[in-house]
Amino acid sequence: MPKLPHPFTASFPVFPPFARHLSARGTASTSSATAAAAAASALVVALTGCGSGASDATDDPTTASPEGFPVTIANCGTDVAIDAPPERVVTMNQHATEVMLALGLEDRLVGTAYLDDAVLPEFQEAYDAVPVLAEEYPSFEQVLAADPDFVYAGFGSSAFDDAEGRGREALADAGIATYENIEQCTDHVTMETVSTEIDNVASIFGVEDRADEVNDDITSRVDEAHERLSDVDPVDVVVVDSIDSTVFTAGGNGIGNEIIKRAGGRNVFDDVDKVFADVSVEQVAERSPDAILIYDYGATPVEEKKRALLDNPTLAEVPAIKEERFAVLPLSSAVVGVRAGDAVYDVAQQLHPDAF
């Protein structure tokens, strides 16, 4: 990703950014992202039977698709065509795994990979029963060894990395269908994007009723926060995923921006047309945020990130620094997944404690 120009060179520790997941995030043009978003949210369900245009072979009960199938979903430039609910699934990235578990599909999982932090407590027992293929991304050979018929990835640009041999085309050639979380190919992510993601996955597995329950829980949590915040004024917030000579932050296109807005804040970089972006420390100082939302993950503790921010002379007069007004969100909650409702409530509680 190209970096924005900045003259400041830091003298504090360097924190590895989120780029280990997203080698190509935020690089698409607005027009291509818009087209991908439209495709990602389109869902076409083709029913077999009389008048459906299906082959006469479907008259044979031994070859007919299950009720509600086949299903085709346009997903980030790839048509995902499913004749029957997948039986052997590999997930890559935590939020993909948690969507599967929230939908009660743990019995379909034959492998998983790449956690950023602990899975939610309610999913722990189910998660522990699933083989972990790799601490980070598995090789193509490790994926094939699990004998999946479907792979679901949270960060498609890195999980389905052609250079690593596990691109979507290579998996398709091996007879494996794929699907990737739609956040990175949606033009402007909202809470409705979360619902679409969960609905899409539920449609692939024929468990739409479970998606309704998951989405209702998310909506209820967001509504709880909204009721608490009825009398508060929004505060200006900057996300700090990592900081070295630049600040790696949330732009206006991702769920992080939506979480802040729903939590009674305003993302000071909401005009940046990306999910994530590098900005200079000087730009952060110029936008003078009232609060800092730190994404918590990896080997760098939150307290170390706070200290780097507090010790940075360029930020000394920023209100958030002077008042040491910090909020913290696990990285696994700052993506399109089942944690989105709780993320809104948790951030709202931290930004506006008096309202709670």
Positive or negative, the Cα torsion across 131, 136, 140, 141? negative
Q: Which residues of 48-75 are buried (b: 16+ CB within 10 A; e: fewer)?
A: beeeeebeeeeeeeeeebeeebbbbbbb
The whole-number average pLDDT for the span 273-277 is 93
Q: State residue 196 phi and psi, 5-degree precision.
A: -65, -45
What is the share, in percent, of the chain residues with pLDDT greater than 90?
A: 79
What residues have CB less than 8 Å from 314, skipping those under 6 apart?
A: 8, 281, 282, 284, 285
The whole-number average pLDDT for the span 176-182 is 98
Residues 2 and 31: their CA atoms lie apart, in Å, by 19
Confidence (pLDDT) at 277? 95
The whole-number average pLDDT for the span 173-193 is 96
Confidence (pLDDT) at 12? 36
What residues have CB less than 8 Å from 306, skipping those under 6 apart?
A: 294, 324, 326
